[in-house]
A and B are shown apart, each in its own frame.
Chain A
Amino acid sequence: MNEGKLDPRLRFLQEQTTEERIEFVESARLASVSTARRVVSIDVLLRCRKGPGTKTVRSIEKKLTALGVNVHSVIDGPMVVVGGSVPVNRLEDLIQEDWIEVVEASKQLFPDLDRSGLDVGVRTLQTVAPTVRGTNVLVGIIDSGIDFRHDDFRLPDGSSRIRFLWDQSVASVAGGRVPFGREFTKANLDAALRTNPAPIAVNHNDVEGHGTHVAGIAAGNGRRSSGQFVGMAPDSELVIVAVRSDAGTLGESASATIAFSYVVDRAHELNRPISINMSLGNNGGGHSGEMPLETAMDNLARLPGVVIVKSAGNEQTWRIHASGTVTQGAAPISRQFESSGSNTQQDVFEVWFDATDRIGIAVQAPGGPTPVANDFVLPGAVNTFETSGGNRVRIDASSVDAGGTGDVRAMIFIGRGTAPRIQPGRWSLHFRGDQITNGQFHVWIERTSRGNGGAEQTRFVTADNDPTCTISIPGTARRIITVGSYVTRFENDAPLGSLSRFSGRGPTRYGLRKPELAAPGESIVSVRSSGAGLPPFAPGYTLMPGTSMAAPHVTGVAALLLEINPQFTCEQIKQILSRAARRDGAAAVAPDDNWGSGRLTAQRAAELARAVQFPIVSNVVINGTTLSWETDIPTTGAVRFNPHQRRMFLGRAIGSRVDLTVGLRHSINLQGLAPATYHCEILAFTPALEEWQTLDDRQGEHYAVTVP
């Protein structure tokens, strides 16, 4: 009975060995601790009752001192609250005293997954009947791998919660089901956990620790911490893909694409819904979902029971985006960027603009001559030259219909050339409007490895920096859920509850809302891979900040919603999470391009998931210029359209028409539009106060309506 007096976090600490306690208290930077004579002390708060022998504050202090408490502060009142430190091995003595009602750990010591779990409201779902814990749902993690031996990824009997693990790096075996690397099944992992040596050596090790941490947030069961550090979907099972990492990178776009296909295939094989997390990205593309990896993710996100969640990226404060509008015939405008003194890697820039514009691009090195007319590279052309400092510059503007979008994608490559490094100082990009309809352009600087203080990362000067459109790719894919980060732990002067300064900001280049919402990401304690050299925060756990950590909160909560309805689509879960999102405190400005719809709110999302009815669109008929359809429940309707099919696929409509009559049948006539074939998507809205919608775009093929 006295057990109930003790904060579970202290009970967790009590159960550790002396070595583990020392490791914990030394890594808990916010705690004041004593490890003298290998006796580990910890800060506590005690609530004490006045009574016989404890009538006064003085008597309580005296008794506590006798019990080993070093009293720091006392607040008198009906109950006396005492702050102090106590050796962990004396906690048991404290709870035996009937006048001591509660012994709590100093809150500062545990600003972590349990805090973020409380913040998003997932604990009630996990613990109060009817509980929702991810049962019969898979969580897919595409990342650096997983510490499969960690207790948090094992069942009470010690067997693995991982159904499949595909390590893309290890040597393949003949007859394997994966195109490269090696797949390990739950049976392989269980055998490896049971016996040594294992019948099949599972030579997988998460040396980065990133994937293990992410998996712990989405799905860790807290077994190692006696229930202290529990992830969002602790009863789910896992499908893991460990991508190849190399020199600061974590996977590549092609192998990541096939990783998505793999985890969805395995989910179908097991007949389970799956929520997939990707906390990887880059800046290479047009930031409107055009990249093949993004197209693949959007294709998969159409399937019922498949949810894809992506981190928004940490690019907002890296000054990697600039934009502007050129005017036909006016003087060129420029955007300056800075190269540091130790930049040896190639700098890559992506420039995107509408192909109806002819915008010339030129590059000027620090101290170099101002570009003249012939230095500007126009759409369709390529130019390579060497700067006076020996650097090699290539401007390739020959992609005039990039990814079928009808946009120009120019890329600028600046390499060392014959010099030992890229010339430090201010460079300039110049943009000249030769023939302009729209005139707007965007430029992104590709990420480089950011070790060594980010010395390799070239950045725009502050005056030319545009912090919008900084969602990392593939987070700009239209149909997936993209997640920003907010602060649930005080660190680096970031106010609690505020959006993380680094959190990637929308919208997409085409103006679509991203991110969808924000979740705790700064900073989170989750599972520590034993193979990674990360500092422990508590035994078996480590601290990381980033949108990488925010996304798996959403991935895990999406898994809970899939337990409620395994047939939900990603689009439907996106609507539920957006509708449920809280807009309190700093998030009161939501919806916007920083917060999306607001803060992740799990309990409300579950309530909505149990009640929602999404309309079903059927019997779509095209008759001349009229598009007709039916719905199973009364709805209003709309048609969005664009004569450019690829742009419509990416969500860029040029117009829409609506039918506000509430009913089961709808017809919308596109007559009056300019002659063309329009690629259309249908939207059906429930007319209730909480409006839900179904988007039918014929599985991405669209309904083609020709206006003569």
Chain B
Amino acid sequence: MDSSKTWGAKLDPYSRMQMEDGLPDEGVEVTVRVTDKRAAAKQLEQAGLKVHGQVGDIIVGHVNSSDLQQIAELDCVQEVQLSRPLYGESSGDSEKER
């Protein structure tokens, strides 16, 4: 992925949609894929990300909604995704429902 592309292009469509609809005042949880595993966390923190942890090239954190663009604009950032809900996979009712 070309990390020099516009900040909006580094967001996935789901995140762009959430931004257009208005992000919550308390900020959002994001996952960020970066090019430089060693130095990126510091840059992200300086840009406003409260880093919760890192697994290789994936960094997870909380960002104020107003800082999201600044995060995505960093050269070290390849991709930013807002957190998406997960669901339990017990299926008791799914079989009965159909």
Question: Which residues of A are in contact with B by a Cβ distance under 8 Å?
Answer: 143-144, 179-180, 208, 210, 213, 243, 246, 248-258, 260-262, 279-282, 284, 291-293, 295-296, 299-300, 311, 313-314, 317-318, 348, 382, 394, 396-399, 401-404, 409-411, 413, 447, 449-451, 453-454, 472, 492, 500-502, 523, 544-549, 646, 700
Contact = CB atoms under 8 A, between A and B. Distances in A.
B24 interface: no
A482 to B, nearest CB: 11
B22 interface: no
B88 A280 contact: yes
A282 B13 contact: no
Contacts of A179: 50, 52-53, 62
Interface string B72-98: 000000110111111111111111111
Given A348-B14, A394-B17, A403-B79, A254 B55 contact: no
A261 B53 contact: yes
A253 B86 CA distance: 7
Contacts of B95: 317, 492, 501-502, 545
Given A180-B52, A403-B1, A646-B1, A253 B91 contact: no
Given A252-B29, A282-B84, A295-B33, A317 B14 contact: no
A253 B83 contact: yes
A661 B14 CA distance: 50
B58 A257 contact: yes
Contact of A546 (B62, B78, B81, B91): B91
A454 B94 contact: yes
12 contacts: A180-B62, A253-B85, A254-B52, A257-B31, A257-B53, A260-B55, A261-B60, A279-B89, A296-B58, A454-B93, A501-B95, A547-B89
A300 B57 CA distance: 11
Nearest to A491: B95
A208 B88 contact: yes
B30 interface: yes
Contacts of B87: 248-250, 280-282, 447, 449-450
A549 B90 CA distance: 7
Contacts of B12: 399, 402-403, 409, 411
B31 A282 contact: no
Interface centre among A258, A291, A449 (most CB of B within 10 A): A258
B58 A545 contact: no
B43 interface: no
B2 interface: yes
A258 B89 CA distance: 20
Contacts of B62: 179-180
Interface string B14-50: 1011000000000001111100000000000000001
A502 B33 CA distance: 33
Contact of A250 (B1, B78, B86, B94): B86
A180 B61 CA distance: 11
A270 B7 CA distance: 41
Contact of B92 (A250, A262, A284, A546): A546
Instruction: State the majority secondary structure of interface residues on A.
Output: mixed
Given A261-B54, A296-B56, A299-B58, A314 B85 contact: no
B79 A280 contact: no
B35 to A, nearest CB: 10
Contacts of B14: 284, 348, 411
B79 to A, nearest CB: 6
Contacts of A257: 31, 53, 55, 58, 60
A292 B91 CA distance: 26
Contacts of A243: 86
B60 A258 contact: yes
Nearest to B12: A399
A472 B14 CA distance: 18
Nearest to A449: B87
A314 B81 CA distance: 25
A545 B91 CA distance: 6
A71 B39 CA distance: 77
For chain B, what secondary structure do more than half of its interface residues adopt (helix, strand, loop), or is it mixed? Answer: mixed
B56, B88, B98 interface centre (most CB from chain A within 10 Å): B88
B91 A254 contact: no
The residue in A143, A546, A549 that gathers the most chain B C-beta atoms within 10 A of its C-beta is A546
A500 B90 CA distance: 12
Nearest to B30: A254
Contacts of B89: 279-281, 311, 313-314, 472, 546-548
Nearest to B14: A411
Contact of A399 (B9, B32, B91): B9
Which 4 A-B pairs rank lowest in CB-CB distance, beginning with the nearest?
A299-B56, A404-B1, A254-B83, A411-B13
Contact of B90 (A284, A397, A492, A545): A545
A87 B35 CA distance: 69
The listed residue with most B CB atoms (<10 A of its CB), out of A143, A255, A257, A311, is A257
Given A249-B86, A254-B29, A257-B60, A450 B94 contact: yes
B81 A210 contact: no
A548 B91 CA distance: 8
Contacts of A700: 56
Contacts of A449: 87
Contacts of B93: 450-451, 453-454
Nearest to A394: B17
B80 to A, nearest CB: 9
A404 B5 CA distance: 12
Nearest to B29: A254
A449 B94 CA distance: 11
Nearest to A406: B1
Contacts of A451: 93
A292 B84 contact: no
A36 to B, nearest CB: 31
Contacts of A311: 89
B52 A258 contact: yes
Nearest to A492: B95
Nearest to A551: B89
A519 to B, nearest CB: 13
A252 B29 CA distance: 9
Contact of B58 (A295, A314, A447): A295
Contacts of B94: 314, 317-318, 450, 454, 502
A404 B83 contact: no
Nearest to B93: A450
Contact of B31 (A250, A262, A293): A293
A335 to B, nearest CB: 19
Contacts of B81: 253, 291-292
B98 A454 contact: yes
Contact of A300 (B2, B55, B78): B55
Given A254-B31, A262-B53, A292-B33, A548 B98 contact: no
Contacts of B98: 317, 454
A231 B11 CA distance: 42
B97 A453 contact: yes
A409 B90 contact: no
B91 A282 contact: no
B13 A292 contact: no
A252 B58 contact: no
A413 B52 CA distance: 30
A414 B24 CA distance: 21
A284 B87 CA distance: 11
